[in-house]
Amino acid sequence: MKKKLLIVDDEEDICELLVNVLQDDEHEIVTARNGQEGLLLARKNQFDCILTDINMPIMTGLEFIRELREESKTIPVIFFTAFNDHENMRRALKYGAFDFVSKPNFEKLKSIVQAACDSGEASKSVPGVNSVLGKIKDII
């Protein structure tokens, strides 16, 4: 079964590039141009993994993941950004980010997307794991 990915980035060229890098027989990819659009799509669809930029207009990637987590969405979220800002990395991890990848490291991104999809599949199959993960993130 294909894994459904959501890419959230305000730069159309980056979205197209990521689609080209990740598109294969195993992935179905949907794109959004900002966090607000991404949040609407995440509410209406079941994604296996989300890739998002941090710096975007309307709603940043950090605002996006914070709102997503408030709705108890445990979808793995990977931040993919050109900025290597340690404070934003810390905040992203605090909000439950799966990982943080610097642009343009596409090989690393592919392996992290696979790991994120696999981890999401595992959490779906183990009863109660999502509530336990939520409690752990609250402690952090």
CATH number of the CATH domain containing 114: 3.40.50.2300
Contacts of 137 (CB under 8 A, 6+ apart): 69, 94, 96
Beta bridge mates, 28: 4
- Condensed to tens digits (0 to 9), the pLDDT of residues 20-44 reads 989 887 889 999 999 999 999 999 9
Contact 92, 118 (CB under 8 A): no
61 token code pair: 């990637």
Beta bridge mates, 31: 7
Average pLDDT, integer, range 117-132: 52
Beta bridge mates, 8: 32, 52
Total Cβ atoms within 10 A of residue 50: 30
Residue type, 117: C
- Condensed to tens digits (0 to 9), the pLDDT of residues 56-95 reads 999 999 999 999 999 867 899 999 877 777 888 889 989 9
Total domains in the fold of the chain: 1
120: domain range?
A: 3-137
Global pTM exceeds 0.75: yes
